Amino acid sequence: MKALRLLQARSFSHTYSSCRGNSVLSQEPSGPKMKTAIPGPLSKQYMNDLEKTQNSLSTIFVLDVEKSIGNYSVDVDGNIMLDVYEQIASLPLGYNHPSIQKVFQNPENLSQLVNRPALGVHPTPQFIKQINQTLLPIAPKGLEYVQPMMCGSCSNENAFKAICIWHANKNRDGKAFTEEELKSSLYNQAPGCPTVSIMSFEGGFHGRTFGALSCTHSKAIHKLDIPSFDWPIAPFPRYKYPLEENQRENQKEDERCLARIEELFHEYKSKQNPVVGVVVEPIQSEGGDYHGSATFFQRLQKLIKKNNAALLIDEVQTGLGATGKFWAHEHFNLPESPDLVSFSKKFQTGGYFAKSEFQPKQPYRIFNTWMGEPAKMLVLDAILKTVKQENLIENTKKTGDVLLNGLKSLNQKYPQLFYNIRGLGTFCAFDMPNASVRDKFLVQMRNAGIQMGACGDVAVRFRPALIFAEKHANIVLDKMNEVAKKF
């Protein structure tokens, strides 16, 4: 314990400038170390304070951002937890990575950090460089246009808008806007604001603003009492595991979903609310880590093309390496690129890539005050360089194998407790018998020093950073075994 404190004192000191190179793993403690149950007394004190002005019922513990390091989050009570949830899947390099620290320590970056420009009217040379040298090199194949945004919801909302504009533009066939369109649009009426729809999936999650929320169907509490667009909602495959033993059933499941998708295209066309785009996650994440087969996605794309709609793949949670490929949809070998791909979370900023035909011809159609943020692009650039230098996608793939195999072993040992083991890279999950068992398990894991997240009704999801290595996976698997034994 004393040794650990010493280690802490050294590695968590304020002399950040002494952190050089990719030393974040070497600064980590050797494992989790718990002092109190979660939330501890100090966390509770802060939460009481927060409760005065905020609904803090979703708070798990109060974070000590200074002491948290690498894969370990530390709370204000000094509990050191191995973190496989990483701020809802949003930290690619864990806590206090030197490469991100350097962004804020480099005096050359100061003016970009201090002055947030309205990039739509006054871009900076640095931002233009960031578009070309940071964002475009990671563009999914075939998508040569990128639109920076600020968060996942506004990335999807603006991608929906780009789809609607693209669709109307095709129909308009080069003709100018009519007077009637111009006038009616200001009053929310057709033909200016037409009735068209974006198809989404049962269990999908795409954000919480009104457009994005109309495509979100993971939990009722997200949607209750909020008006919604009448947009079609299709089933997304629910497979039986292990996949290799249930191929025939799972193929049937694909058929069922695809048939209904096709029906919905027709239904909404005949009720004068045509589907102009389909938004889908490569893995339904918030909704419960549901996977679709490569075949499902290939046939989905074909179906969408046949119906003259656009395919938007929402990679807000899956993008940036966690599945063992940079973009999760690379796993599907689609015959051609998706039309648009949205991103956020691990990117620290948001936006979407798209085929160039999705770029509106006129200014101010996809627009807002900030249009992204140069400061976040500096951080993203540091992240991407580190991912490359440290070979972190390969690391994630390797660690993912260890993790998935470990979970399969646990499934064999505790078949009533952990099942439907699934995953790509470290983007893994399993199901538990019911929500109350799952929630109890998560509490016990947290008190044993592992911070994990729930998703869907009965699932537990892994969303570690890309620096999550074999040794960390083994710590988690060991703790799961220990907790399961007592269950």
- Write out the catalytic residue numbers: 205, 314, 345, 369
End-to-end Cα, the chain, rounded Å: 28
Least distance in angstroms from the C-beta of 48 to a copy of itself? 10
Verify cis geometry, omega within 30 degrees of 0, for the bond prior to 237: no
Angle, helices 98-105/374-389, rounded to nearest 10 degrees: 140
By beta-carbon proximity to a copy of itself, the closer residue of 213 and 448 is 213
Q: Residue 8: what residue type?
A: Q
By beta-carbon proximity to a copy of itself, the closer residue of 369 and 405 is 369
Report whether 341 contacts 315 (CB < 8 A).
Answer: yes
Report whether 160 contacts 169 (CB < 8 A).
Answer: no
Q: What is the DSSP string of 336-379?
A: S--SEEEE-GGGSSEEEEE-GGGS-SSTTSS--SSSS-HHHHHH
By beta-carbon proximity to a copy of itself, the closer residue of 407 and 458 is 458
CA atoms within 13 Å, Cβ hemisphere of 204: 30
Rounded Cα–Cα distance for residues 469 and 476 (Å): 11
Rounded Cα–Cα distance for residues 348 and 342 (Å): 13
Report whether 206 contacts 156 (CB < 8 A).
Answer: yes
By beta-carbon proximity to a copy of itself, the closer residue of 116 and 256 is 116
CB atoms within 10 A of CB 253: 20
Least distance in angstroms from the C-beta of 366 to a copy of itself? 8
Least distance in angstroms from the C-beta of 246 to a copy of itself? 26
Q: Residue 349: what residue type?
A: T
Element (H, E) at 427: strand 427-431
Q: What are phi and psi of 233, to 5 degrees?
A: -125, 115
Least distance in angstroms from the C-beta of 386 to a copy of itself? 13
By beta-carbon proximity to a copy of itself, the closer residue of 180 and 245 is 180
Least distance in angstroms from the C-beta of 4 to a copy of itself? 20
Least distance in angstroms from the C-beta of 59 to a copy of itself? 6
Rounded Cα–Cα distance for residues 109 and 378 (Å): 8
Least distance in angstroms from the C-beta of 269 to a copy of itself? 15
Least distance in angstroms from the C-beta of 275 to a copy of itself? 12
Q: In sequence order, what are the beta bridge partners of 431?
A: 419, 459
Rounded Cα–Cα distance for residues 35 and 58 (Å): 22
By beta-carbon proximity to a copy of itself, the closer residue of 58 and 270 is 58
By beta-carbon proximity to a copy of itself, the closer residue of 189 and 409 is 189
Report whether 472 contacts 480 (CB < 8 A).
Answer: no
Rounded Cα–Cα distance for residues 343 and 320 (Å): 9
The tokens describing 92, both together, are: 């690619």
Three-point CA angle 42, 47, 48, nearest 5° = 100
By beta-carbon proximity to a copy of itself, the closer residue of 332 and 373 is 373
Rounded Cα–Cα distance for residues 203 and 206 (Å): 10
Give 286-335 as a 3 state SS string.
CCCCEECCHHHHHHHHHHHHHCCCEEEEECCCCCCCCCCCCCHHHHHCCC
By beta-carbon proximity to a copy of itself, the closer residue of 195 and 481 is 195
